[in-house]
Amino acid sequence: MRYISNTPAQQKEMLGVIGATSIEDLLVRIPAKARLSRPLNLPSAMAEMDLVRHLRGIAAQNASAEDFACFLGAGSYDHSVPSPINHLISRGEFFTAYTPYQPEASQGTLRSIFEYQTMIAELTGMDVANASLYDGGSSLAEGVLMAHAVTGRDGIVLSRGVNPLYRQVVETYVEGPSLRITSAPLADGITDGDALKKAVTEKTAAVVVQYPNFFGCLEDVKGAAEVAHAAGALLIVVADPVNLGLLEPPGALGADLVVGEGQGLGVPMSFGGPNLGVFAAKQELVRRMPGRLVGATVDLDGRRGFVLTLQTREQHIRREKATSNICTNVALCALMATIYVSIMGKRGIRKVGELSVAKAHYAATAFSKVPGVRLRFGSPFFKEFTLQLPKAPDRVVKRLAKERILAGLPLKPFDRQYKDCLLVAVTEKRTRDEIDAYAAALAVAVA
């Protein structure tokens, strides 16, 4: 497709065909008072080198994880992105954002998606993963809709430990089918088991927990699975696959669906997207899955090949009865994840988890030694934890930004009861020097 604007001569020709003399003729039906009578107030065009200088100046006002020690998480994490990823995804054969329109002609792309699906299935401990969805929030919302379709029930029990932004996405998605959401409260940072039992009924389609949850704490996934299954509901676990080299896979703990944000698998944070929606399920649920699925098969001569499979679930065949209106995947981000997992291998991913956990616990100990600062919850945590501060967290964040430290996420906008809390994430990239500098700056900020 060409993006070349038409010439005055071409415009005149086109206008002539429809019997108009000027573009102004096409606009006469718009009332004069609704139209702008002067040109837009825009600066004149810049030369390329001036424009680059101008944009660089604007970009420099951002606080990038390149220049700051990043302790921000809450769904997007500053994990290391090995340099081969960028080189490989830039190859012309791979550089596309979508599943191809003539998929079987793009065997390389299908192969890479097939490998991605296999890796996600292995990490999550599930039988089958799709080619990816947009992000963690939309993956969860699709999982909720799928649980409704599978069970024919309308109730969704969402733990308050699930990322509040994901909970908002779910609320938006379930408005159409009128599903009822019940919140399961927390006790000391994890889903309250007794309250969960009370919330789950014979009308519950799915129980949703996050592991580790929004506050960083490790949920009792097995316990939640028992409660869900006893009521005939599905268990949906929101998980970050980069943690699953070390944590037990949700599939082994009783999850029926595993969804989540896969950005940690070699996808740069990019100020919040594009992200990678992970979606994996048990085999018996495969025909209800949303999104694209790549399958391996053999051709007439018995040679291995790849196809888009089970397409009868999808909109172009099943129309309004499709399992979902997702018709693509985030192919480029899924490719980044595939390359990442290939480079890191089993041991590498496990090491990322081990280093993140060790550094997070070192940081939590150091920060809670600062007078007035304590860990908000006593439950075990993974790479993220919740601090309670003696001073307003948003002010503390501003103070530490002056030391080139992104201190974390103040929780006040999400829940008033955590107005004195700060969510802190620590990945394998953080150094002891950075953590010690944070502790020192925190001591000054809250003194």
Partner 1 sequence: MAQVPADLKYTREHEWAKVEGDRARIGITAFAQEQLGDVVFVELPKVGAKVTAAQTFGVVESVKAVSDLFAPLTGEVVETNAELVKKPETVNSDPYGQGWMIVVKLANPKELDGLLSAADYEQLVAGAGH
- Binding residues for partner 1, rule: CB under 8 A, are 287, 312, 317-318, 321
- How many angstroms separate the CA atoms of 235 and 291, rounded? 20
Between vectors from CA 346 to CA 85 and to CA 253, what angle results, nearest 5°? 115
Q: Compute the chain's Rg from CA coordinates.
A: 25
CB of 282 to partner 1, least distance (A): 16
CB of 133 to partner 1, least distance (A): 22
Residue closer to partner 1 by CB (options 222, 229) is 229
Instruction: Give the CA dihedral 368, 209, 257, 166, nearest 10 degrees.
Output: -80
CB of 102 to partner 1, least distance (A): 18
- How many angstroms separate the CA atoms of 204 and 154, rounded? 6
Residue closer to partner 1 by CB (options 150, 411) is 150
Q: Is the peptide bond before 43 cis (omega within 30 degrees of 0)?
A: no
Strands 257-261 and 234-238 turn out to be parallel
Residue closer to partner 1 by CB (options 149, 443) is 149
CB of 251 to partner 1, least distance (A): 23
CB of 270 to partner 1, least distance (A): 38
Residue closer to partner 1 by CB (options 35, 319) is 319
CB of 153 to partner 1, least distance (A): 14
Q: Is the peptide bond before 249 cis (omega within 30 degrees of 0)?
A: no
- How many angstroms separate the CA atoms of 163 and 184, rounded? 13
Residue closer to partner 1 by CB (options 63, 286) is 286
- DSSP at 284: G
Residue closer to partner 1 by CB (options 57, 152) is 152
Per-residue buried b or exposed e for 208-225, using 16+ beta carbons within 10 Å of the residue's own CB: bbbbbbbbbbbbbbebbb
